[in-house]
Structure 1
Amino acid sequence: MNVATSPSTRVRPLRALSIALAFAAATGLIFGTAGFTAMEADRGLAVNVTDDERAYLGYAPLADEVRDGELTAVVEYRNRFGSDLDDIDVDVSIAPSGSPRATIESVDPPSSLDEGAAAAVDVTLRCPVRERVPLVFEVDGNGGGVSVSLSRVHTVTCVPTSSMVTGVRYAGVGNAFVEAGGERATVEATVWLTDSVPGANGSEGSLRSETVASLNPSSPVRPQLSTNASNERIVGVAFPEQGVAYFHPGWNGANHVAPREGPGVRRTGVPLDAETVRNTSVVEDE
């Protein structure tokens, strides 16, 4: 016996599938791609988006580098809602896995955003050395019947502000101390060394230089050298960023006339080379 299948029986599974697909499509249009931005309206609709350029609350990084102690516009928010956001709360912190040295000194965020307007979040960082700092930006906003939350991480490089070197004081020929303004900043320095024997009749000896990218003015110079300079004497310390060098007060262009201590003698015209160092005498004729 042949049993005929009714049209309604054949259509039912297909119709169910069509309804399911239509629901899934509608859900996709409403909810978009899962992300870190959440928006809620009065009717309880939640929307997640990851495209910051087209999001209702737009987000854009403005700076990848900041200088120690300088207020800098780091990121920007833009209101693309159809109404004002009357209340904006922005929290900025350093990610737990971030810099152990850098600190946030101040944050200047917007407190509201008019419809279509954009505003920056200004941040002041303090950093004793150059380093990458991951900043966490968390914002909550509401107004006009909508609310929005957004969390983003933006990594910036914090550059320490160079100290203004005012002098170098020598402790004999074996060590030196840099005198500079600013307690936190480091300076780039080129240290010139010789193995010559001090004294008026000492041999000329060899001459070399070593550059310290981030010299700490609050510490003696010699321990900050990467090489063993225990058998060498400091001739002078140059600071390329400031175009100045301070020679040992006993340096006569060939050797140290005496291993005396005292303030270094200032000379301009750096960077120095070996020939310039050998042709520079800061010892007064007697």
Structure 2
Amino acid sequence: MSKLKTLSLLLLLVSITGIMVGSGGFTALSADRGVSIGVENDESAYIGYESSDLTVKNGTTIDLVYITNRLPDSIDVTDITIKDGDFTISELKTPTDISPGKSGTIQGTVVCTPSESQAIELSVTVSGSDVTTQLAGDTTTRRFMIVCASEKEDGDDGEE
């Protein structure tokens, strides 16, 4: 056999072996990436939530929470969940169509025991054209106290 034939057969054998075995590359890759989600304080959040401790008389309708819209579209309050205790809050009034840069007020009538107090946890769900979010009431910034004034005290924090 000539050197040219031997070299040709050797190259053919290497080529066939390479085709059968593969290129040694890979077709799949698995990688882990870390993801972090930042939570902003209410002054910077797209939806602001503001509440404060109140002293009220039994049966008074009060402002419970102020919702501020910092989104580019209007939002509606679509659901409210209140963690009830000895006090109850009924006759809820929710704001709708809160324009960008504007605030709305959630109001309710408090039925309470005079001279007692209770922590109130209120979760609010808001919806807009491209977003639905829940502002949960189980954190320090989402909890407030209601003190029920005795019949002799003025509960001047609420509205009559």
TM superposition score normalised by structure 1: 0.37
* Match for residue 54 of structure 2 among 50, 56, 64: 64
Partner of 2:80: 91
* Match for residue 70 of structure 2 among 71, 74, 80: 80
Contact map agreement 1:140 1:148 (CA 8 A) in 2: yes
Q: Does 1:136 align with 2:126?
A: no
Contact map agreement 1:78 1:116 (CA 8 A) in 2: yes
Contact map agreement 1:58 1:79 (CA 8 A) in 2: yes
% same residue: 23
Partner of 2:24: none
Contact map agreement 2:52 2:145 (CA 8 A) in 1: no
Partner of 1:114: 99
Segments of structure 2 that go 5 or more residues without pairing to the other structure are 1-31, 155-160
Contact map agreement 1:89 1:141 (CA 8 A) in 2: yes
Partner of 2:146: 157
Q: CA deviation at 1:69?
A: 1.4
Segments of structure 1 that go 5 or more residues without pairing to the other structure are 1-19, 33-48, 163-186, 189-240, 242-286
Partner of 2:4: none
CA-to-aligned-CA distance 1:21-73 (integer Å, 9 cap, x gap): xx64xx43xx21xxxxxxxxxxxxxxxx2512211111111443222211111
User: Using the alignment, how far apart are the partners of 2:116 and 2:131 within structure 1?
Assistant: 39
TM superposition score normalised by structure 2: 0.62
Change (3 A) 1:148 1:58: same
Paired residues in the alignment total 120
Contact map agreement 1:67 1:159 (CA 8 A) in 2: yes
User: Using the alignment, how far apart are the partners of 1:161 and 1:124 within structure 2?
Assistant: 17
Letter in 2 for 1:59: Y
SS at match of 2:110: strand
Which range is displaced more, 153-162 or 115-124?
Answer: 153-162
Contact map agreement 1:68 1:158 (CA 8 A) in 2: no
- Structure possessing the higher relative contact order (Cα contacts under 8 Å, 6 or more residues apart): 2
Contact map agreement 1:138 1:150 (CA 8 A) in 2: yes
CA-to-aligned-CA distance 1:197-249 (integer Å, 9 cap, x gap): xxxxxxxxxxxxxxxxxxxxxxxxxxxxxxxxxxxxxxxxxxxx9xxxxxxxx
Q: Within 5 Å, give how 1:1-286 maps onto structure 2.
A: 24=34, 27-28=35-36, 31-32=37-38, 49-85=39-75, 87-95=76-84, 98=85, 100=86, 102-152=87-137, 153-160=142-149, 162=151
User: Using the alignment, how far apart are the partners of 2:122 and 2:42 within structure 1?
Assistant: 14
Contact map agreement 1:53 1:60 (CA 8 A) in 2: no
SS at match of 1:89: strand
Runs (4 or more) in structure 1 with deviation over 4 Å come to none
Contact map agreement 1:90 1:137 (CA 8 A) in 2: no
User: Using the alignment, how far apart are the partners of 1:60 and 1:109 within structure 2?
Assistant: 15
Contact map agreement 1:132 1:155 (CA 8 A) in 2: no
